[in-house]
């Protein structure tokens, strides 16, 4: 049981973290979200079969992200002086110092990093539901049905959110990816 | 969906997947720690007693204690202290009636003759 769970979490933790990081905008909160999701999955659903874990984990993750947004809205309403964590870009800076397995030059890596930064900026402007639909489909590689289950909404809503997100991103990132 | 949109979508997917591959050592280390912390909870889950159940049990106990402390409860308790008292009193009245039965018969005869 422990080994199967360990393998499952190890397989999904990177994308889960990246999704949380892109959704909330900073690494510290993203780590908290992923850890809470892992703990909830282990505590509540470890007795389920391994085939049931992926949709459950995705759903817990989306719930955690939505809860984070609600908490932040409450904080901003009642404690407006409270400063939220801001991404310092340390991890992105390390991108330039690592060896690229694809054999790209530092210039290409820099261009790639800048493109990612623009994508993150454009994503920050998206409404939460569009962001979630986009990340589930593009980053996690979920189908429309799987995304609908994760977001606890209809497939029609997922299609609408995803289409609007893509349209907005295309308008914002037309120069980067024509 | 047009070809341009599909191409744009695939470019975004590629970009996002690349970013997953370059998370950095510190992030990977923290993820590993988070996973180990989560897996440490596997055997703990059966021994957890939900807080809401404890709350309900404490509330019920509190309500029962307040009920016992109320005058209604005390009155009921006093009434139940000596349940045979009322029966004994009734029995005493019956005994008096039997003892004075001759007097009542004489009184009735006097009224009939008178």
User: By CA distance, what is B45's nearest residue in A?
Assistant: A43
Contact A75, A82 (CB under 8 A): yes
For chain B, what percent of residues have pLDDT higher than 70?
69
Q: Residue A156, Cα to own-chain centre: how many angstroms?
A: 21
Say if residue B43 is in the same domain as residue B54: no
Q: How confident is the model at residue A151 (pLDDT cuts 50, 70, 90)?
A: very high
Interchain pair B8, A115: CB under 8 A: no
Within 8 A of B12 by CB-CB distance, chain A residues are 119, 138, 169, 177
Give residue A95's pLDDT.
47
> Are B61 and B39 in a shared domain?
no
Partners of B44 on chain A (C-beta within 8 Å) are 43
Q: Do B34 and B67 share a domain, yes or no?
A: no
CA distance B25 to B84: 84
Average pLDDT over residues B83-93: 64
CA distance A171 to A163: 12
Instruction: Indicate whether B45 pLDDT > 60.
Output: no
Q: Which residues in B have their CB inside 8 Å of a CB on A?
A: 5, 8-9, 11-13, 15-20, 22-28, 30-31, 34-35, 37-39, 41-42, 44-45, 48
Q: Looking at mean pLDDT, say which of A71-75, A108-112, B88-92 comes out highest.
A: A71-75
Q: What pLDDT is stored for residue B107 in this prediction?
A: 84
Give the closest residue to A91 by CA, choosing from A141, A32, A17, A177. A17
A158-171 pLDDT, tens per residue?
999 999 999 999 88
- Of these ranges, A82-86, A98-102, B16-20, the one predicted with the greatest mean pLDDT is B16-20
Distances (CA, A) of A113 to A97, B18, B25, B70: 12, 10, 17, 73
Together in a domain, B37 and B16 = yes
* Token representation of residue B46: 């059966």
A1-81 fold: Rna Polymerase Sigma Factor; Chain: A (1.10.1740)
**Contacts of residue B20 in chain A, CB cutoff 8 Å?**
14-15, 18, 139
Mean pLDDT score, B94-114: 79
What is the number of residues in chain A? 178
Q: Mind listing the pLDDT tens digit for each residue in A96-143?
A: 455 555 566 677 777 778 888 888 889 888 999 999 999 999 999 999
CB contact under 8 Å between B39 and A94, yes or no, is no
Do B107 and B74 fall into the same domain?
no
Cβ within 8 Å, pair A166-B13: no
- pLDDT given for residue B74 in this prediction: 55
Q: Which two tokens stand for residue A115?
A: 């493109």
ipTM of the complex: 0.79
Q: What is the mean pLDDT of chain A?
A: 84
Same domain, B22 and B36: yes
If you average pLDDT over residues A137-162, what whole number do you get? 92
Give the model's confidence band at A176: pLDDT under 50 very low, under 70 low, under 90 confident, else very high.
Answer: confident
Q: Are residues B12 and B27 in the same domain?
A: yes
Which residue of chain B comes nearest to A33, CA vs CA?
B34
What crossing angle do the helices spanning A53-78 and A144-151 adopt, rounded to 10°? 50
pLDDT at residue B104, rounded to an integer: 82
pTM higher than 0.95, yes or no? no
Q: DSSP letter string over A120-171?
A: HHHHHTS-HHHHHHHIIIIIS---HHHHHHHHTS-HHHHHHHHHHHHHHHHH
Residues B10 and B41 in one domain: yes
The minimal CB distance from A35 to the residues B8, B17, B34 is found for B34
* CA distances, A40 to each of A93, A136, B24, B47, B55 (Å): 33, 20, 26, 15, 22
Total number of domains constituting chain B: 3
Structure tokens at A11: 């397989």
What average pLDDT score do residues A6-31 get?
Answer: 92
CA–CA gap between residue A75 and residue A69 (Å, rounded): 10
Q: pLDDT at position B44, please?
A: 67
For residue B43, the chain A residues in CB contact (below 8 A) are: none
| Domain, as residue range, for B106 | 84-114
Tell me A139's DSSP state. I
Same domain assignment for residues B42 and B9: yes
| For chain A, counts of helices (H) and of strands (E) | 8, 0
B62 phi and psi angles, rounded to 5 deg:
-65, -45
Domain ranges of chain A: 1-81
What pLDDT score does A67 carry? 92
Q: State how far residue A146 is from chain B, nearest Cα, in angstroms.
A: 17
Q: How confident is the model at residue A17 (pLDDT cuts 50, 70, 90)?
A: very high
Nearest residue of chain B to residue A35 (CA atoms)? B34
Question: Mean pLDDT in chain B?
Answer: 78
Least confident of A40-54, A70-84, A142-156: A70-84
- Residues in Cβ contact with A176 at an 8 Å cutoff, skipping those fewer than 6 apart: A115, A118, A119
- Distance, CA of B90 to chain centre: 43
Residues B41 and B9 placed together within one structural domain of the fold: yes
> Tens of pLDDT along B34-43?
999 999 887 6
10 Å CB burial of residue A27 (0-12, 13-18, 19+) is buried
pLDDT for A48 beyond 70: yes
Specify burial of residue A102 (Cβ count, 10 A radius: 0-12, 13-18, 19+).
Answer: exposed
A145: tokens are 């049905």
Query: How far B2 CA lies from chain A's nearest CA (Å)?
Result: 12
Q: What is the mean pLDDT of residues B59-79?
A: 74
The residue among A4, A30, A37, A39 with the most chain B CBs within 10 A of its CB, best to mutate, is A39
């Amino acid at each position: 049981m422990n080994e199967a769970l360990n393998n499952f979490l190890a397989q999904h933790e990177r994308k889960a973290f990246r999704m949380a990081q892109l959704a909330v905008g900073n690494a510290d909160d993203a780590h908290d979200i992923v850890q809470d999701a892992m703990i909830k999955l282990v505590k509540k659903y470890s007795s389920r079969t391994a085939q049931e874990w992926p949709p459950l984990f995705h759903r817990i993750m989306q719930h955690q992200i939505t809860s984070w947004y609600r908490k932040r809205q409450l904080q901003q309403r009642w404690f407006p002086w409270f400063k939220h964590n801001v991404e310092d870009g340390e991890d992105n800076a390390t991108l330039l110092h690592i060896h690229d397995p694809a054999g790209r030059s530092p210039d290409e890596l820099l261009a790639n990093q800048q493109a990612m930064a623009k994508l993150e900026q454009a994503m920050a402007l998206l409404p939460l539901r569009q962001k979630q639909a986009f990340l589930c489909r593009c980053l996690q590689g979920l189908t429309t049905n799987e995304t609908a289950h994760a977001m606890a909404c209809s497939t029609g809503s997922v299609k609408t959110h995803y289409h609007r997100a893509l349209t907005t991103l295309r308008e914002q990132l037309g120069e980067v990816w024509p | 969906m047009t070809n341009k949109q599909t191409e744009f979508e695939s470019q975004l997917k590629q970009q996002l997947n690349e970013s997953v591959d370059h998370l950095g050592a510190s992030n990977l280390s923290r993820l590993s720690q988070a996973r180990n912390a989560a897996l440490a909870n596997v055997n703990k889950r059966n021994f957890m007693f939900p807080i809401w159940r404890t709350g309900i049990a404490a509330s019920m106990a509190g309500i029962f204690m307040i009920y016992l402390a109320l005058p209604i409860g005390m009155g009921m308790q006093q009434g139940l202290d000596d349940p045979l008292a009322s029966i004994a009193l009734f029995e005493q009245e019956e005994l008096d009636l039997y003892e004075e039965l001759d007097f009542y018969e004489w009184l009735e005869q006097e009224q009939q003759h008178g």
